[in-house]
A and B are shown apart, each in its own frame.
Chain A
Amino acid sequence: EAGVVQSPRYKIIEKKQPVAFWCNPISGHNTLYWYLQNLGQGPELLIRYENEEAVDDSQLPKDRFSAERLKGVDSTLKIQPAELGDSAVYLCASSLSGGAVDTQYFGPGTRLTVL
């Protein structure tokens, strides 16, 4: 069974440019998470989806970040415009039901470098 797929794996852009990341969760997983991981830090939740509904986006900087999960499967995370401080790894994870003991499976991440 395929794991969580993310693309691209690496992205280098200049500041003020837009960028988008894509995530395909494990088949059948209802809950999808986007995390931000800065160098030397643990992941920090940006947004959580239950099916197609964003149930927790309190940490998503809505002035420049947006996300969608049309049809409750794949998801995209967009930054427009990107800033130097957005350089980080963006991780996607999925789980079956989103409960406390529900295992989250992580993708390999997209490493973004903003010049």
Chain B
Amino acid sequence: GEDVEQSLFLSVREGDSSVINCTYTDSSSTYLYWYKQEPGAGLQLLTYIFSNMDMKQDQRLTVLLNKKDKHLSLRIADTQTGDSAIYFCAESPFDNDMRFGAGTRLTVKP
């Protein structure tokens, strides 16, 4: 398909790990991004990964990239209630503008 795809909802318990998955569309994408959007706010860049990398870790965040399957995931370790938000995956195709998925709403239950 032509869309960046994400599951719409994820619910986890506080302290558990969260894994948010994304399938992107364009193999020419040099960079892939994860953004976080809290209610009433704009998007905040969480992390990005260069397309020649398989994994990137940044504190509680781990990004995994499978270029063959065009699959990207974001793992949040020790998920906290403050992590509740909508998480957007985005691709940046060569010579084209950034394309976002529809977002995954993460709910963290105490």
Q: How many angstroms from the CA of A107 to the CA of B103 in the assembled complex?
A: 18
Q: Which residues of A contact B (CB under 8 A)?
A: 4, 40-45, 48, 56, 91, 93, 100-101, 103-109
Which of these, B30, B31, B43, B50, contacts A106 with CB under 8 Å? Answer: B43
Closest 8 CB pairs of A and B: A42-B100, A106-B42, A106-B43, A100-B92, A45-B97, A100-B31, A108-B42, A100-B30
Which of these, A40, A41, A42, A107, contacts B42 with CB under 8 Å? Answer: A107
Do A108 and B97 touch across chains, with their CB atoms under 8 A apart? no
B4 — which chain A residues lie within 8 A by C-beta? Answer: 42
Name the interface residues of B53-110: CB closer than 8 Å to any CB of A: 88, 90, 92, 97-103
Do B102 and A108 touch across chains, with their CB atoms under 8 A apart? no
**B1 on interface, CB distance cutoff 8 Å:** no
Do A42 and B90 touch across chains, with their CB atoms under 8 A apart? yes
B7 — which chain A residues lie within 8 A by C-beta? Answer: none
Q: Which residues of B contact A (CB under 8 A)?
A: 4, 8, 30-31, 40-45, 48, 50, 88, 90, 92, 97-103
A108 — which chain B residues lie within 8 A by C-beta? Answer: 40-42
Which of these, A42, A48, A101, contacts B103 with CB under 8 Å? Answer: A42
CB nearest neighbor in B for A92: B42
Q: How many angstroms from the CA of A109 to the CA of B86 in the assembled complex?
A: 15
A42 — which chain B residues lie within 8 A by C-beta? Answer: 4, 88, 90, 99-103
Q: How many angstroms from the CA of A108 to the CA of B39 in the assembled complex?
A: 10
CB nearest neighbor in A for B45: A103
Q: How many angstroms from the CA of A101 to the CA of B51 in the assembled complex?
A: 11
CB nearest neighbor in A for B29: A100
CB nearest neighbor in A for B100: A42
Q: How many angstroms from the CA of A51 to the CA of B88 in the assembled complex?
A: 27
